[in-house]
A and B are shown apart, each in its own frame.
Chain A
Amino acid sequence: MKKYLNNIYLALSTIFIGMKVTFKHLFVPAVTIQYPSVKPQLPSRERNRLYVNMDDCIGCDQCARACPVNCIEIETVKSIPGEDLGQTSNGKRKALWVTKFDIDIAKCCFCELCVFPCPTDCIYMTDVYEFSEFERNNLVYDFVTLTEDERIDKKANYEKMMAEKAAQKEAELKAKEQAKKDNTEENK
């Protein structure tokens, strides 16, 4: 009988204790963050989407070589003499036209290894983390600032220059040979 009454007492008292706890929590401010409208505070060393500041890029290809998943593809074209490409913000002279700088962010593993070798600090991680797409192809980001025509132009320019150079060399070579011939003939 004593146990019976004690059971009743225990049941009721513990229920009231529990109810007190839940009632207190009714007035505790919620910990919910209303996500799309309120963004959570990100940790200071978070790694998110890559960005390339093409004004500073010298096309050195170091980031592409550092990438463990080969998600960066770079193609460069040498500038022809007389073209001024300007300088990077830390005073390096730019000598290469970057005609292709694609980052396939779908492949990217967010390791941040590409960021450290960059001599001009032009590739870095931003705080953007909402970039889902319906098409996988849309995740290949093209950072080159040149237009499509300009790229073809630069390539053509370079090839033309190289062709001219080659032609010039050939001409020089021919001239040299001609001179040699002339000399031998004279000697005879």
Chain B
Amino acid sequence: MIFDFLSKLIGSEIIASIISALLPLFLFILPFALIAVYLERKVSAHMQDRLGPMRVGYHGLLQTIADFIKLLQKEDIIADQNDKPLFNIAPVLVFTGSYAVFAALPFTSLYIGSNINLGLFYIIGISGLSVIGILMAGWASNNKYTLLGAMRSAAQMISYEIPTIMIVVTILMVTGTLNLNDITQMQSGFFWNWMIFGGHATGIVKILLIPFMIVAFGVIYISTLAEVNRTPFDIPEAESELVSGYHTEYSGMKFAMFFLAEYANMFAVSAIVILLFFGGYQSPIGYLGNTLGLHWLVPIEQLFWFTFKGVGLVLVQMWLRWTLPRLRVDQLMAVCWKYLIPIAFFNLLIVGLITLI
């Protein structure tokens, strides 16, 4: 979509593809990471009756920019006993894994990096790349704590992918497509058309679907929270036990890449939840552009709603982070295998039966 537009505008497909590949990074991920880091610090501070950053700019608004500049200047330390090729590749892989997800996200009805029919499948698949990056980082650092963190992370991310995919399949049975744009279009109109309220189904089916969709939302939200290693599932980077897990040995730009990947991931999983349950970029209350007859306003509104919902869910992640203590490894596994997977399975079955009506 954006690629076609750019290649027509520039005339060269190579330049157009490079630009369209860089667009989400500079237009979305970097600003989002800057704002999210600031928000994280502010939200956590106010939840603990503190003020957070106050010195750099008005109420510390420029704090993250200052931090970023500081990270850029830092020495890139590589220890002597590190496995150097793997050590250097790992942050790139982790970042690629989280960045590639953005290629298939429909930000508005006009802007999709690549409108592929297997969008959802692609996202689930490509986000698995960060697991290997994390494992690589933990191994290459040649440090027992990083390796512990990486092992935990691998175990956690792989086992939590199962309930996630189970819920994705549940949604698939209702929508019948993996194309994210089509899934979003199916939830057009007002908020009661969102998937969490049964989508466009009518009558008894809709009423029957709602409770199971809410359960599905809960399960996918918890499991995606675990997939991006956020508290209460942050045992891979548990500060008090493992220093900071797999990225302990990293400094400077490589650390910044891990950091960026973490925040990009936070938004990516929120975006997936939004696309599946909260209507993606669809407005809950109708478009101002349509009422006023200004059709160019609609995509802007869609972008606003997409980011609004996404940042909303990210805020809930932060809220949970400062509410809940960290889980133990066995508790973590118990939550996944004893609770989320059976519930997701049960949910899958019931929703499957309902769709037969």
Contacts and interface: CB of A to CB of B under 8 A. Distances in A.
Interface of A: 7-8, 12, 15, 18-19, 21-23, 25-32, 34
Nearest to A17: B323
Contacts of B324: 15, 18
B323 A22 contact: yes
Contact of B46 (A7, A12, A30): A30
Contact of B323 (A12, A15, A28): A15
Interface in B301-325: 319-320, 322-324
B222 to A, nearest CB: 10
B319 A22 contact: yes
B47 A31 contact: no
B54 interface: yes
Given A8-B339, A15-B324, A26 B51 contact: no
B45 A30 contact: yes
Interface in B35-89: 43, 45-51, 54
B49 A19 contact: no
> 3 closest A-B pairs (Cβ-Cβ)?
A32-B51, A18-B323, A22-B323
A86 B228 CA distance: 79
A7 to B, nearest CB: 8
A25 B339 contact: no
A10 to B, nearest CB: 12
Contacts of A8: 339, 343
Nearest to B55: A34
A25 B46 CA distance: 7
Contacts of B49: 25, 28-32
Given A8-B339, A15-B323, A22-B323, A34 B47 contact: no
Contacts of A26: 43, 46-47
Contacts of B339: 7-8
Contacts of A7: 339
A23 B46 contact: no
5 contacts: A7-B339, A22-B319, A25-B49, A30-B50, A31-B49
A27 to B, nearest CB: 8
Contacts of A31: 49-50
A34 B53 CA distance: 11
B46 A19 contact: no
A21 to B, nearest CB: 7
A12 B320 CA distance: 12
Looking at A12, A22, A23, A29, the one whose CB has the most chain B CB atoms below 10 A away is: A22
B47 A22 contact: yes
A30 B46 CA distance: 7
A104 to B, nearest CB: 35
Interface string B161-178: 000000000000000000
Contacts of B48: 25
B319 A30 contact: no
A31 B51 CA distance: 8
Contacts of A12: 218
Nearest to A14: B324
Nearest to B45: A30
Q: Which of B46, B48, B323, B324 has the most CB of A within 10 A?
A: B323
Nearest to A28: B49
A23 B43 CA distance: 10
B50 A32 contact: yes
A34 B323 contact: no
Contacts of A18: 323-324
Contacts of B54: 32, 34
Contacts of B43: 26
B320 A25 contact: no
A23 B50 contact: no
Contact of B51 (A15, A21, A30): A30
B319 A23 contact: yes
Nearest to A23: B319
Nearest to A8: B339
A39 to B, nearest CB: 16
A28 to B, nearest CB: 5
A25 B47 contact: yes
A7 B339 CA distance: 9
Interface string B276-319: 00000000000000000000000000000000000000000001
B274 to A, nearest CB: 20
B326 to A, nearest CB: 14
Contacts of A21: 323
B98 to A, nearest CB: 26
